[in-house]
Structure 1
Amino acid sequence: MTNDSTWLAVPDLVELLDLPVGRIHRLIEEHRLPATRRDGALRVPALAVRDGEPLPDLRGTLLVLLDLGLTEDEAVDWLIAEDDALGMTPLDAMRAGQKAAVRRAAQLLG
């Protein structure tokens, strides 16, 4: 799979997920969507959304990364960077159904 580096801003997510702005911010706060500031705006990697929903396995993986001491920005960077152990980005691996492999790779960061 290729790394789609497209970013979605909050207004994009409102339209894509058909949710109000407040709910989008809540999804980010609850770690259901990984977000970071890019070019001054809060953005989410487009690969974190599929079929109008956040990837279901994202929250658990984000919590593992944060529990290991990564910042939100570092967690997002890890999710979108190519991982040698996975042979793809962690987001691509999650989209391919490899949640367990992604979580193992995340735990190796600790």
Structure 2
Amino acid sequence: MNEVFGLSEDVATLPVAEVAQRLDQPVSRVHQLVKDGQLLSFRREGEVVVPADFLGEDGVVIKGLAGTITVLRDGGYADPDILRWLFEEDDSLPGTPVASLRAGRHREVKRRAQAMAF
């Protein structure tokens, strides 16, 4: 994956190996989750990382993330654009889409993603 331009350096990330540990899965499974659109990864300082906010406290991928990624990909958005959108402030939510997903408001986020994609 390429460096994501426009994504704030403040976005906390985890190396793929740590994501695998938190999900209690092998590293190859994390790569498959990325390939399947369940997660997004990118390169930061030469290392493949996943935003920490994509994982819940319970050691699973946050609800609604995969569906949101699918809607945006189907709408023609590239992964770097999806990442930027997920971490951009949105006054109508309020906050960022990823914060809304973490708060359980995945339907609202998906509605906005659908509106953007079509």
Q: Same fold (TM over 0.5)?
A: yes
Residue in 1 that maps onto 2:75: 68
Residue number among 22, 29, 35 corresponding to 1:23 in the alignment: 29
Partner of 2:7: none
Gaps of 5+ in 1: none
State how far apart, in whole Å, the 1-side matches of 2:77 and 2:44 are: 18
CA distance in 2 between counterparts of 1:48 and 1:99 reads: 13
Structure 2 equivalent of residue 46 of structure 1: 52
Q: Which moved more, 1:33-42 or 1:20-29?
A: 33-42
Q: What is the aligned partner in structure 2 of residue 6 from structure 1?
A: 12
Q: TM-score, normalised by structure 2?
A: 0.82
Choose between structure 1 and 2: higher strand proportion.
Answer: 1
Any stretches of 5+ residues in structure 2 without a counterpart?
Answer: 1-9
The offset of 1:29, in angstroms, is: 0.9
RMSD: 1.5
Amino acid at match of 1:20: P
What is the total number of aligned residue pairs between the two structures? Answer: 107
Identity value in percent:
38
1:86 corresponds, among 72, 90, 93, to 93
1:55, distance to aligned residue in structure 2 (A): 1.2
Deviation, 1:39, is 2.2
